[in-house]
């Protein structure tokens, strides 16, 4: 939520909410579009909580046209695609999936591969067209890179640098799934270096 709020071009004052809406909103504008930012309650996760937040939001803001979900994505770097924890990944349909694979719509099968057990709807055509425009502008060198935009936002909000900056070179490590992670620690300092992949 902090990152989304930092990207606003302008912030608007709060509006009245319906009595059954328990969400807390940030209103503003990005690139000429009015936006509503909402987050799950602190410490509460899952699809049920997300559905509740969205249904309450539509009670207060019935004219919302598009909903973009920003969340934690799972992925493993490969030779073709080097995905890291702090990267921004935008989903789009491919020949086999609709663009987003929900974590509980797949299952692990022998050989440690995943088999999709269900699908979600693909993004709206207007959003897919926007992705095409962004890709085209990037290929022509006419778009500002995400890393440059993030750097500018961090320069404008120095208190966010520690939490939102990319790890220094050599400090971003991927460990094999066999390595047990201790949830009582905030770092991988006690992880088995023999399980490190990169």
Over residues 90-104, the pLDDT tens digits come to: 777 887 777 766 656
In-domain check, residue 192: yes
- Classify the C-alpha dihedral 146-4-99-34 as positive or negative: negative
Domain boundary among 71, 106, 123: 71
In-domain check, residue 79: no
Q: Is 123 exposed, middle or buried, given 0-12, 13-18 or 19+ CB atoms closer than 10 A?
A: buried
Q: Which domain holds residue 29?
A: 1-71
- Which range, 5-14, 133-142, 149-158, 188-197, is most confident? 5-14
Domain boundary among 36, 71, 106: 71
In-domain check, residue 100: no
Q: What angle do CA 113, 117, 123 make, to 5 degrees?
A: 105
Residue 52 has pLDDT above 90, yes or no: yes
Q: What is the CA radius of gyration of the chain?
A: 19
What is the torsion angle, in degrees rounded to the nearest 10, for the CA atoms of residue 175, residue 181, residue 185 and residue 188?
-10
In-domain check, residue 147: no
pLDDT tier at 16 (50, 70, 90 boundaries)? very high
In-domain check, residue 174: yes
Question: pLDDT higher for 88 or 132?
Answer: 132
Domain boundary among 71, 90, 106: 71
Domain count, the chain: 2
């Amino acid at each position: 939520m902090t990152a989304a709020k930092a990207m606003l071009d302008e912030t608007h004052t709060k509006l009245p909410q319906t009595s059954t809406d328990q969400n807390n909103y940030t209103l503003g504008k990005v690139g000429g579009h009015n936006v509503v930012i909402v987050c799950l309650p602190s410490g509460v996760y899952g699809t049920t909580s997300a559905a509740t937040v969205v249904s309450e939001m539509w009670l207060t803001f019935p004219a919302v046209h598009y909903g973009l979900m920003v969340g934690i994505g799972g992925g493993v770097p490969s030779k073709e695609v080097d995905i890291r924890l702090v990267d921004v990944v935008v989903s789009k349909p491919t020949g086999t999936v609709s663009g987003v694979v929900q974590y509980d719509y797949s299952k692990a099968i022998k050989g440690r591969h995943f088999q999709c057990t269900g699908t979600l709807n693909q993004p709206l055509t207007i959003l897919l067209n926007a992705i095409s425009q962004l890709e085209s502008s990037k290929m022509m060198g006419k778009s500002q890179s995400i890393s440059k935009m993030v750097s500018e936002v961090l320069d404008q909000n120095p208190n966010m640098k520690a939490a939102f900056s990319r790890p220094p070179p050599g400090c971003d490590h991927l460990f094999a799934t066999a390595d047990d992670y201790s949830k009582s620690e905030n770092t991988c300092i006690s992880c088995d270096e023999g399980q490190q992949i990169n």
